[in-house]
Amino acid sequence: MTVQLVGSLRKELAESLSTCRVLVVGAGGIGCELLKNLVLTGFKNIEVIDLDTIDVSNLNRQFLFQKKHVGKSKAQVAKESVLQFCPTANITAYHDSIMNPDYNVEFFRNFMLVMNALDNRAARNHVNRMCLAADIPLIESGTAGYLGQVTVIKKGLTECYECQPKPTQKTFPGCTIRNTPSEPIHCIVWAKYLFNQLFGEEDADQEVSPDTADPEAAWNPAETEARAMASEMDGDIKRISTKDWARSTGYDPVKLFNKLFKDDIMYLLTMDKLWKKRKAPLPLDWHKLESQVRPQDDVKAGGLKDQQVLGVWGYCQLFQQSIETLRSQLKEKGDGAELVWDKDEPPAMDFVTAAANLRMHIFSMNMKSRFDIKSMAGNIIPAIATTNAIIAGLIVMEGLKVLSGELESCRTIFLNKHPNLRKKLLVPCILDPPCANCYVCASRPEVTVKLNVHKTTVLSLQDKILKERFGMVAPDVQIEDGKGTILISSEEGETDANNGKFLSDFGIRNGSRLQSDDFLQDYTLLINVLHVSEDLEKDVEFEVVGDAPDKAPTPPSNQEDANSIANGNKDSAQPSTSSNAPAEEDDVMFVDSDEAASSSSSAAAPTSSTKRKHLDDETGEASAKRPRTNQSHEAADADDDDDIIALD
C-alpha cells in the first residue's frame, strides 16, 4: 500500500490540517514561532488571543514584530505578519484576556486542539480547566533560558496541569522587608513596594515604613518616642499614608530621601533589640552627602551603562532624577492617577535601582548594577530566541500526533542546556496518567483546608483561598448545612455584606463542608474545613492538607534530572492574556526552584527510569452547572510582582 504525501505529510493528515480549527493562547516569544510554524505546516484555521501590546524589549526575539509595531496589539500584528507567510490562511486575532467570560466552554469546544504559549500559572490553570471541561486536547509549553519543555494534556488519559502540586512562590515576612533586610532581594522588594506606595496603587500589605509590630522589636515605647524625634526639619516622619505625605511635600526628592533613608532608619535604630546580633544600619543625610561630594564621585565607571555600579552620590542623583520624571508623569495623567511599575519603563526602573541600592548601602550590602536589579525585580532570566524556536517546533510535532489520532505516541519532551548521559539534548518521557487525588481533574475534586474559622473572613476565603490558591475566576460558594446557605456569589453585589464577616459567623466549624462552583470554568470543588484554634506559621492564614500538598515532590537527585524548569513567568506583573495590567514576558521563567516546581512540577530531563512530569493533562467530570448571566470578570493578578522570588 502506497502512502500519498502532500509535502512531508500524509494526504489525510494534510487535509485534516487545512480544515481543523486550533487556538493559540499567547503571541509572545513562543507564540510568534508557533504561529509561523503552524501556517508553514499547513494549518489554515487559526485563532490567537493575547492581551499584551508590543514593547520595544520584545523585538530581540519576537520576530513577527518590528519597531513600527511598538504599542500595538501582539495578537493583531502577529496575525498580519503571519499572513505574509501564507496569505490563504484564515486567522482570527483577539486582543483580549483568555479569562474573559466570553471565552467559555462552548468557545473552547469550537477547536480540535489548544496550544498554550503563556507566561504565568493563573492563565495556565484557567486554560487547563477550560480544556478539561470542553474535553479538548491541550499542548502545554514553557522555556527558561536554555531549558524548555512541551507536554500533551488529554482529559482522562494524562495528567492535567494541576495534577502535580506546585508550591507557592517564595515570599518574605513583612518585618524582614521593612526592618531587617539581609539580602539584596529584600531591598529590591522594598523599592518596588515603595514605588507603589508613592506612585501606584497603595497596598496595605506592601508598607515600607518601619514595622513597629515586629516581634523581635521589644523596645520601650516611651524611650523610643523620645529618641525617634530625630528630625524636626522637613522630612519629619508622621505615621500617615506614604503617598499622602509625599503629595504634601510636592514629591520633593530631598524630603523623600531624608524621610526614607535618614528618619526612618533612625527610627529603626530605636528598636534596640533588632541590632543586638545584627549590624545596625547607617542613616544617610542628603545635605551631608551633598557637602561631601567630590569631583571624582561624578565620574562613571567604564563598560555598559546597565552594568555599572555607581557610588552613593550617583544613586542619590538617580533617585532625584527618577522622582522628578515620575512626578511629571503623574501630573500629566491628572488627579487621582496611578502609575504601574514596569521593568521596561526607564524612570520606574531607575527609581527601583536607586532606592534599592541606597538601602543596600545603609544595611552594609554590596550595591548592584541596574542589569542585576532588573533581573531580580522582574523575577526572570533572559529569554533565548533559539529555545523558543525549538519548543515551538516540538509543539507542532506533538500537535500532528494528536490530530493523527496517535495520542499513545505523544510525549513530554524536555530540552536541556547540556546533553544527558546518552548525549541527548531532547529527552522524551511517556505521559503520566491522571492523578486520582487531583483537586481539578478527579471525578469528584475535594480538598481539606486548615484554618481558624474565628479569624478567617469570607473575603479571605474568596480571594486568598479560592482565587489565589485554587485558581478560580468567579467562585460561588454554598455551605452544605442542609439549607444551601449561599456564602459567596459571583453576581456583583449579591453577597458583599458577607465579606467582612468571619466563617464562624455562618456556623462554619471543624468538619463543615463548602461547595465552590466556578461556572465559567465548569468546575466544582468540595472543601472540608479543618478548624485550628492555635495560630499557624507566621504570615500563614491557611494550609491545604491531605491530597493537595503545598510542596512539590523532591526532584530527582541525578544531575541530568535536576535541572528545574518552569513554564514561563509572571511574577508579577500580570498575565499577558489574563490581565489588563502590564505583564512579564511570556517566554521567560522564574529562576527560583520554588516557582520552577510551581509552574511545571519539577525537573528538567528525566530519564526513562525516573520519569518526572511538569505539565499537564486531566481527567475529570464536571458536574452539571447552571448557565451564567451578566458575569463580571476581574482578571487575576499575576504573582510575579507581588510574590517575591529569591535568586541565586
Q: What amino acid positions are annotated as catalytic residues?
A: 175
**Distance set, CA 258 to CA 231, 263, 558 (Å):** 9, 6, 52
Q: Which residue has the cell 567604564?
A: 302
Q: Which residues does 142 contact at the CB level (< 8 Å), separation at least 6? A: 30, 148, 149, 391, 565, 566, 567, 568, 589, 599, 600, 614, 615
Q: Which residue has the cell 519543555?
A: 149
Cell of 147: 531549558
**How far, in Å, CA of 475 to CA of 483, rounded?**
19
Residue 31, annotated ligand binder?
A: yes
Residue 59 marked as a ligand binder: yes
Q: How far apart are CA 26 and CA 95, in angstroms?
A: 10
Q: Is 86 assigned to a binding site?
A: no
380: Cα separation from own chain's centroid: 10
Cα 162 to Cα 129: distance, rounded to the nearest angstrom: 9
Q: According to the annotation, is 119 in a ligand binding site?
A: yes
Q: Is 527 annotated as a binding residue?
A: no
Is 160 assigned to a binding site?
A: yes
* 3-class DSSP state of 235: coil
Residue pair 219/273 in contact by the 8 Å Cβ criterion: yes
User: Does 509 belong to an annotated binding site?
Assistant: no
Q: Any known ligand binding at 596?
A: no
Is 30 annotated for ligand binding?
yes
> In the numeric block, which cell numbers belong to residue 621?
467530570
120 is in an annotated binding site: yes
Report the distance separating Cα 584 and Cα 573, nearest Å. 6
Does the annotation place 97 within a ligand binding site?
yes
Strand partners, 476: 517
> DSSP state, 147?
E
Check whether 123 is labelled as a binding-site residue.
yes
Q: Confirm or deny that 441 is annotated as ligand binding.
A: yes
Q: Is 121 annotated as a binding residue?
A: yes
Question: How is 381-448 classified by DSSP, letter by letter?
Answer: ----HHHHHHHHHHHHHHHHHHHTT-GGG-EEEEE-SS--TTS-SEEEEEPPPPPTT-TTTSSS-EEE
122 is known to lie in a ligand binding site: yes
Alpha-carbon distance of 158 to 155, in angstroms, equals: 7
How many Å apart are CA 198 and CA 380, to the nearest integer?
Answer: 25
The alpha carbon dihedral of 383, 386, 388, 391 has a sign of negative
Q: Is 7 annotated as a binding residue?
A: no
Check if the beta carbon of residue 47 is closer than 8 Å to that of residue 23: yes
- For residue 435, say whether it is annotated as part of any ligand binding site: no
Q: Which residues line the annotated binding site for Zn(2+)?
A: 160, 163, 438, 441
Q: Which residues line the annotated binding site?
A: 26-31, 50, 58-61, 74, 97-98, 119-124, 160, 163, 438, 441
Q: Which residues line the annotated binding site for ATP?
A: 26-31, 50, 58-61, 74, 97-98, 119-124
